[in-house]
Amino acid sequence: MTEVLLLVGILVAAFVGYNIGGATTGPAFGPAVGANILSKGIAAALMSIFFAIGAFTIGREVVDTLGNELVTSTAIFTLEANVAVLFFIGGALFIGNYAGVPASTSMTAVGAIAALGLATGELNWAVLGEIAIWWIVAPIIGFWIGGVVGRYFYTRINEWVAIEGNAAEDALLGIDTSGYIPRLHIETGVSRREWTGSVVVIVIGCLMGFSSGTSNIANAVAPLVGSGQLAEDPAIIIGSIAVAIGAFTIARRTLDTLGNDITNLPLTAAVVVAVISSTIVVGLSWIGIPASFVVIATMSIVGLGWGRATRTTRLSEAARGEETAVSVGALTADEEGEPSPEIGEEEVSDIPKASDLFNPSTTARVILMQNVVPIISTTGAFLTFRYVPIFGF
């Protein structure tokens, strides 16, 4: 019976990893796919590789936090409880993936494990408090870094880098399946400028894949590792393989949402947001804090747009109380490679409306599911462990 439950636990953990692959590939490589730089197959392959690297290096710290520190006694991680916890994590994430929305895997997993600890009286409130504080502080940091970059550096970065999408019918890098053996396809006739921008976008996507591995591998395997039923290295291997399967299959929906539907965010802005968010996530993973990349990235976008919009007013003018007019759609004001105006010299009329930046209906759906998915996981787990007698708590 124990062997059967362990097998079920591993399968459910793999199901969680599968959904993590679906939820995190979109944020990492959606801009590259949307700009026709990478095919979905190449994006999935790169995501699989760099997720595994992040999981095997820094990801161990987060596995230890969720598997050993979030609850005061790992004895509550029975095989039955592990299966239930992972079921709620995977089931909630699957709902988000089915809707084509990349939900916060960290919030979903922490919610389910914390619910188990709360229902059994074994929740480590100090650790949960530390995680919650960083969940508040990290997006604020992302906002202010984005704001500083948007006000003082974004237009010059846009002028220097000049990242452009690929106008060709096929992706710059794709997989040719016309023959018996699939092979790498590289689009010809592409300018040096396009290749330079494309390489930058791909590298940033790989960084995001790495940061996802550092933070999210624990969401799939931490309960099994914490219970001592599965060693850490085999658990990470199983989780990484499952993530790869998710990246090649269900992630196609979130790649469409993040690459085409939600925003017309310029590639330059997308790269800046990715660097800020990935750096913060990797830093938090280093100290064992599971972080939500999607939330941090969202606040970084808002901060970047706010900083870009405030370029219409000098600090000296604001200090004198002069009226400041800004727009949250500021990021779309710049065409890639345009000359950089000085602060205070831009006209408000040059800055488009917010509706030019976001698709309102898709954005509303994303925000809704970002909140619903963790609530489903947490509430379902708590009610189950508190009132279902089979678990014996």
Per-residue pLDDT, 34: 74
pLDDT at 84 over 80: yes
For 291-323, write each residue's pLDDT tens digit: 888 778 878 877 887 787 776 666 555 444 454
Beta strands at 183-186 and 173-176: parallel, antiparallel or unpaired = antiparallel
* 8 Å CB contact between 171 and 37: yes
Average pLDDT over residues 178-196: 66
pLDDT tens, position by position, 111-134: 999 999 999 999 999 999 999 999
Q: What does the pLDDT average to over 232-261? A: 81
Runs of H (alpha helix) within the chain: 2-34, 40-56, 59-64, 79-98, 105-120, 125-148, 154-161, 192-227, 232-248, 251-256, 267-286, 293-309, 315-319, 360-387
In angstroms, the Cα distances linking 14 to 91, 110, 111, 143 are 12, 17, 19, 34
pTM score: 0.79
Region of poorest pLDDT, from 138-147, 300-309, 380-389: 300-309
**Section 61-66 average pLDDT:** 93
Which stretch of DSSP H or E encloses residue 185? Answer: strand 183-186
First vs last C-alpha separation in the chain: 20
Calculate what percentage of the chain has a pLDDT beyond 90: 31
Q: What's the mean pLDDT when you consider all of the chain?
A: 78
- Residues 6+ away with beta carbon under 8 Å from 165: 34, 35, 36, 37, 267
Confidence bin at 331 (pLDDT 50/70/90): low
Confidence of residue 363 (pLDDT cuts 50, 70, 90): low
Burial class (CB in 10 A: 0-12, 13-18, 19+), 8: middle
Whether 27 and 301 have beta carbons less than 8 Å apart is answered as no
pLDDT at 218: 92
Q: Which residues are 174's β-sheet partners?
A: 185
Nearest residue to 255 via CA among 92, 48, 16, 44: 44
